[in-house]
Structure 1
Amino acid sequence: MVSAGYDDAVETRELRYFVAVAEELHFGRAAQRLAMTQPPLSRAIQQLERRLGVVLLHRTARAVALTEAGSVLLWEARAALDAVEAAERRTRRAAAESPGVVLATKAGASSELLSKLLDAYAAEPGAVAVEVMLCGPGEQEGLLRDGRADVALLHRPFDTTAGLDTEDLHTEQQVVVLPAGHPLANRPHMSIAEVTTLADLPLPRWPRRGGGYPDGPGPQVRDHTQLFQLIALGRACAVVPESLRAHLRDDHATVPVPDAPTVTTVIAWPAHSRSKAVADLVRTATCL
């Protein structure tokens, strides 16, 4: 965010100040959050408005509100600050004594694919150490975008890949997981409509719902381990990729759900990445 000359360049510090005020909509609370006093914060926001030549905030004695221009800057400033933080993390990692690659993946998902990928990459000339970050559903995308991970295994339609470079690795159908012995456990298939109307086995609620996760009125779950325990107890059911069958116990049953959206595992990385290690890892993944 730079205008005509360097003297008019917006500073990262000013963006942080503005985001704090825009989120708090109160100069006093924003100053406290930034561990500074209010007068220099007010002056910094005024200077930012002069640099840009726009009014960012409507101020009265009782309230602070964003202008349309302020709303745009809030969105853009958050993205810019996230990008700066991600760049800092990746730069420090690249300068480490033993640089490596951080790969984020959902715990329990794509385990066979991940094992093959790690073994195949380790056999490549010039391979570096790969740190695997196991996380909950939907978390690996955030780790990749904020720079804590260099590459990730994501799953469409659950994860958003907009703005990332990706390669498709594997596509699979979905199944509904039921308690073993349930009257419907021997069905040859079920529809999404049938699954969502099971009165005795409600679909769970996810804290961070992904685009492809059917959400329901059932218990809130944090991860698949908790989910599968609840299913075995007869408290819930769930629609999951069929590869998760490998993690189920004898007290679970699965039924295909042909009209559920297919799930595609992709390897994703930042579009601007220039890491040779990331490129080599991606190339290995696409050759499996």
Structure 2
Amino acid sequence: METRELRYFVAVAEELHFGRAAERLGIAQPPLSRAIGQLERRLGAALLERGSRAVTMTETGTVLLREARAALDAVEAAERRTRRAARAASGGPGVVLAMKAGASSELLAKLLDAYASEPGAVDVDLVLCGIGEQERMLRDGRADVALLHRPFDATAGFDTEELSTEGQVLVLPARHDLAGRSGVHMAEAAALPGLPMPRWPRSDGTYPEGDGPKVRDHTQLLQLVSLGRTSMVAPESCRSQLIGDLVAVPVLDAPAITTVIAWPPHSRSVAVAALVRTAARLQPQPHAGP
């Protein structure tokens, strides 16, 4: 199959309308219809059900839509990485590192300082992302390496090196009744009267239903917590970023957060390899016995 055919099919499958898909692709409708028909004949399966009023997906078409999206993403990622490699070879930009805004700040500062002192270190272009965006940037080739946080970020398909593991805390206004507690449980944190949990955008830009405020970045979230509009559960390392009117209470039954540095397994970048080696050296060393 050609990438052109896959793009045609994805457009029709997402629009469920040949006219809108043709307009989106910038082509006439008849050649689009012919291309989809040829694709179905070559595969020996119907991908779409064409009704008088609507187009619907067949079960086979649903499978191809999933695989086609993955294939097109891989093609685009390959193009981005190749272009960046070409720029690097000609003295252009160095490594693009993606991370969630406000997360692992202390670890990142140590990593960048340590790497900058390495012989042959290149510039690190730091991209601060919203929730889950750093993983998508790494998968689609916009980033060379990323700091991810298990279990919230998926690391399947990447090579990884664990950097730190920590517990989680509930961040509250200092005036809140729970501020002096030695610990809380997740059920308490999720149901605080007057402090509904924040709502982060999904990958399609929409927000889940709920009473909590809509948030897009870490700075906005901290401001809303300070104003008494919400609370947040975050890795324990966030304590270093809290201002005077915020406190952090350990969440006793929250899963531990493991920060990893991740990169594509097919990466041949010398700079990425050097950055990963530097990150690995920053891991706490096990305590030697007497």
Distance 2:271 2:96 in 1: 10
Which of 64, 85, 94 is matched with 1:94 structurally?
85
Q: Deviations over 1:56-80 (max 9, x none)?
A: 1122222222222111110000000
The corresponding residue for 1:32 is 23
Which of 177, 199, 212 is matched with 2:171 structurally?
177
Residues 177 and 231 of structure 1 are in contact (CA less than 8 Å); yes or no, is this contact kept in structure 2? yes
User: In angstroms, what is the RMSD of aligned CA positions?
Assistant: 1.5
Do the aligned partners of residues 264 and 70 (structure 1) sit closer, same or farther apart at CA in structure 2, a change above 3 Å counting? same
Q: How many residues align?
A: 274
Task: Report how far residue 134 of structure 1 moved.
Answer: 1.0
Where in structure 1 do 4 or more consecutive aligned residues deviate above 3 Å?
none
Higher mean C-alpha deviation, range 21-30 or range 128-137: 128-137
The corresponding residue for 2:232 is 238
Which of 19, 42, 55 is matched with 2:33 structurally?
42
The corresponding residue for 1:167 is 161
The corresponding residue for 1:7 is none
2:229 corresponds to which letter in structure 1? R
Name the SS for the 1:17 alignment partner: helix
Name the SS for the 1:221 alignment partner: coil
Task: Report how far residue 101 of structure 1 moved.
Answer: 1.0
Distance 1:35 1:188 in 2: 61
Task: Report how far residue 196 of structure 1 moved.
Answer: 1.8
The corresponding residue for 2:115 is 121
1:34 corresponds to which letter in structure 2? L
Task: Report how far residue 235 of structure 1 moved.
Answer: 1.4
Distance 1:201 1:59 in 2: 49
Residues 196 and 216 of structure 1 are in contact (CA less than 8 Å); yes or no, is this contact kept in structure 2? no
Which of 82, 85, 95 is matched with 2:76 structurally?
85
Residues 20 and 30 of structure 1 are in contact (CA less than 8 Å); yes or no, is this contact kept in structure 2? yes
> Structure 2, unaligned stretches of length 5 or more?
204-208, 283-290
Residues 49 and 56 of structure 1 are in contact (CA less than 8 Å); yes or no, is this contact kept in structure 2? yes
Task: Report how far residue 179 of structure 1 moved.
Answer: 0.6
Task: Report how far residue 123 of structure 1 moved.
Answer: 2.1
- In the alignment, is residue 278 of structure 1 matched against residue 269 of structure 2? no
Q: Percent identity?
A: 72
Q: Deviations over 1:103-142 (max 9, x none)?
A: 0011111111111111222222222221111112221111
Task: Report how far residue 216 of structure 1 moved.
Answer: 6.1
- Structure-2-length-normalised TM-score: 0.90
2:238 corresponds to which letter in structure 1? L
- In the alignment, is residue 112 of structure 1 matched against residue 106 of structure 2? yes
- Structure-1-length-normalised TM-score: 0.91
The corresponding residue for 2:193 is 199
> Structure 1, unaligned stretches of length 5 or more?
1-9, 210-214
Distance 1:253 1:120 in 2: 31
